[in-house]
Amino acid sequence: MSRNRRAHDEEGSGYNWMDTYGDLVTNLLCFFVLLYSFSSIDNNKWQALVGSFTGGSTRVVETFTEQTVREDPIHVEGIVSTDEDSKDTLNVKDENKDEFDALYYAIKTYVEDNDWEAEILVAKQDDSILVRFQDVVLFDSGKAYIREDGKDVLDHIFQLIGNNLSAVRMVRIEGHTDNVPIHTSEFKNNWELSMGRSNAVLEYFIQSGWISMDKLSAAAYGEYQPVDSNSTPEGRAANRRVDFVIEKLISQS
């Protein structure tokens, strides 16, 4: 009898898979219907779908339509400058350019009028002026004390810069040497010599009163930024130098 009951149970259980299959087909049908509804969704369908998830209320979810975006525009008045502001900025830059050019020609004229062309180079790029002094203009060999005739040259250059200071952002004073080793009681190496020279010029510039300290800086490079070969006396003489890098003030507040 147990054998017959087992056989009957096995026959009955064979139809259970149909229930599972029916559920699967129904779920798949619902899924594809949902996909189709999304592919052709409009505002009414969207509201109905949202309502089904929120108990009939659509206030929880805000739909973004063209009207919603247009009602809350981005205000850019404070970001985009007006034409008058742009003109004012351009005028400031043009005025600085004219004054900066005037400074360049004033320094160049002074150097030429005093026959310093061989020892002082004056060159200009768009936003900077380079004034390059060979060391013999300012210092004795191996020293960092400015000579009296060197101070006279610096006084004239300082005054020209001071007269056009509103166009100047910064004056960077750079000391350089050749690669001949130096070791004295005052300087252990070329780096210290170049630092001593750039600092000496910086301090003299400050004492002149033509420029405030916030527009001055000093740097020392020793022998590591040569502009010529160190294999000849002429090249080494060119490398022993003090550079003024005068930077233009691009804009003003």
How confident is the model at residue 22, as a pLDDT?
A: 73
Residue 8 above 60 pLDDT? Answer: no
How confident is the model at residue 67, as a pLDDT?
A: 46
The helix or strand, by DSSP H or E, that contains position 129, with its residue range, turns out to be: strand 128-134
Q: Which of 71-75, 187-191, 248-252 has the highest mean pLDDT?
A: 187-191
Alpha-carbon Rg for the chain, nearest whole angstrom, is 41
Looking at the chain, the whole-number percentage of residues with pLDDT higher than 70 is 66
How confident is the model at residue 57, as a pLDDT?
A: 47
DSSP state letters, 169-223: EEEEEEEE--SS----SS-SSHHHHHHHHHHHHHHHHHHHTSS-GGGEEEEE-TT
241: closest CA among 112, 62, 90, 120? Answer: 120
Domain locations in the chain? 2-71, 83-248
- Mean pLDDT across the stretch 13-40? 68
How confident is the model over 127-151, as pLDDT tens digits? 999 999 999 999 999 999 999 999 9
Please name the CATH architecture into which domain 83-248 falls: 2-Layer Sandwich (3.30)
Phi–psi pair at 125, nearest 5 degrees: -115, -175
167: closest CA among 107, 243, 85? Answer: 107
The amino acid occupying position 107 is I
Residue 41 above 50 pLDDT? Answer: yes
How confident is the model at residue 43, as a pLDDT?
A: 62
42-66 as b/e: b if 16+ CB within 10 A: eeeeeeebbeeeeeeeeeeeeeeee
How confident is the model over 204-224, as pLDDT tens digits? 999 999 998 999 999 999 999
d(CA 33, CA 87): 62
How confident is the model over 223-237, as pLDDT tens digits? 999 999 999 999 999
- Mean pLDDT across the stretch 241-247? 98
Residue 192 above 80 pLDDT? Answer: yes
- Mean pLDDT across the stretch 71-94? 48
Name the band, by pLDDT with cuts 50, 70 and 90, for residue 24. Answer: confident
Pairing of strands 168-176, 241-248: antiparallel
Name the band, by pLDDT with cuts 50, 70 and 90, for residue 23. Answer: confident
54 vs 26, higher pLDDT: 26
Looking at the chain, the whole-number percentage of residues with pLDDT higher than 90 is 58
Asked if residues 73 and 231 have their Cβ atoms less than 8 Å apart, the reply is no
How confident is the model at residue 16, as a pLDDT?
A: 65
Name the band, by pLDDT with cuts 50, 70 and 90, for residue 64. Answer: very low
| SS percent in the chain: helix, strand, coil, step 5 | 55, 15, 35
- Mean pLDDT across the stretch 17-45? 68
- Walk across the sheet containing 241-248 and list its strands: 120-124, 128-134, 241-248, 168-176, 216-220
pTM of the predicted model, to two decimals? 0.63
Name the band, by pLDDT with cuts 50, 70 and 90, for residue 242. Answer: very high
How confident is the model at residue 25, as a pLDDT?
A: 72
